[in-house]
Amino acid sequence: MINPRHPKSIIALADWLVDRGYGLVSLRNQVVMAAGFSTWLRQKGIELSDVSEEYAERYLLDRAQRPKRGDGTALRHLLAFLRSQNAIAEEIKAEYNPSPIEQHVLAYERYLQDARALSRQTIINYRPVARDFLNFRFSDGEVSLAQLRAVDVTDFVQRKVPRLNMRSAKIITTGLRSFLSYARFRGDITSDLAAAVPIVANWSLSSIPRAIGRDEVTRLLASIDRDTPIGCRDYAMILALARLGLRSSEVVSLELGDIDWVAGQIRVRGKNGQRNDLPLPADVGEAIADYLRKARPRNADRRVFLRDKAPIRGFKGPSGLGCVVRRSLKRAGIDAPTTGAHQFRHGLASEMLSGGASLGEIGEVLGHRHLQTTAIYAKVDLDALRTLALPWPGEAQ
């Protein structure tokens, strides 16, 4: 066990924590917590081989001092270290008995993943829709998909959709159609109930993309302190958004092998697993190289951009980059159209359009598979659109 009188055990734990990116202050607190837990186990006569999560919880309650934030996490890290050293057995988890509704949701999730090969984010969007619909129809817990009728579908949508914005309403109806198609695929229902899902009015190209302006991008980038490790990373990430028009998911998923420094190209993992090779602008390349040389923690993770808090690893998803953008905009005092990362993508497209680029060229840069997706940017050129406007009836000639 970890013992202050046995330096080797402390060093082993410290090395394990350092490899995972924990700083000196956090490392010290976790080692102190481990030593205290070790002393408590000896006082209680508990053998190392018997240590479990239960004893860690009891230790926090038995201590004279009140638990502080991070104490529980420190003990979980200690147990993980001991398991990695085969000093204690893996925790045996209680058998999971999902409810009938949850069994259907899990089966649907496997179908989306294995048979449809949908992205993780799409599955995350659709899964709660199926769960809510089944709870709505089979609240007593007994599930029989064969009993589903069109009225169940319309009643569910009419109850859910009025309280939602357009985007959320579209997710509900699209996810419900997907689940009902899955039920028909399984043979649980024979009629096409997906056709009974009401259509949410969503006029094509009804909105104008909210794009951040070039001046605001320049101010934002200038406000980032590139002399700090975090600032060096944030600058490179936001510059990639602005200059390449990448999605936030494409930035956080970049790997070291995706950059061809000799050819000056970058490989991007887009939607539906498609990969695009794009020219790497010199300033973006310099910013990434600067981060890799000076600021990126030494780590085995192949992601280019890593979190700044332990455990050090790549961002779990695009929301991490969204937080970086929001924090940077607030610090710079910029009143941007939105607080998300997509506004940089819209900004690049708008700038290309005003510079004379065609919709096809814009779509190629943005990685759009269909021209219809890019067509919305035609509405951004308001000056050109004004020349097409008919005079108001009765206006003086």
CB neighbours of residue 45 within 10 Å: 7
Give the strand order in the sheet containing 275-279: 259-260, 265-269, 275-279
Question: Computed from CA positions of residues 109, 112, 117, 119, in that sequence, does the dihedral angle turn out positive or negative?
Answer: negative
What is the spatial distance between Cα 92 and Cα 52, in angstroms, rounded to a whole number? 10
Rounding to the nearest 10 degrees, give the CA dihedral for residues 34, 37, 43, 46.
Answer: -100
- β-strand partners of 73: none
First to last CA, the chain: 92
Dihedral sign computed on CA atoms, order 226, 313, 301, 253: negative
Helix (H, G, I), strand (E, B), or coil: what is residue 204? coil
H-helix or E-strand containing 135?
Answer: helix 120-137
Q: Tell the burial category of 265 from Cβ atoms under 10 Å away from its Cβ (0-12, 13-18, 19+).
A: middle
Which contiguous run of DSSP H or E holds residue 277?
A: strand 275-279
Phi, psi (rounded to 5 degrees) for 260: -100, 95
User: Are the beta carbons of 33 and 75 closer than 8 angstroms?
Assistant: yes
What is the C-alpha separation between 13 and 21, in angstroms, rounded? 13
Q: Catalytic positions, please?
A: 247, 271, 342, 345, 368, 377
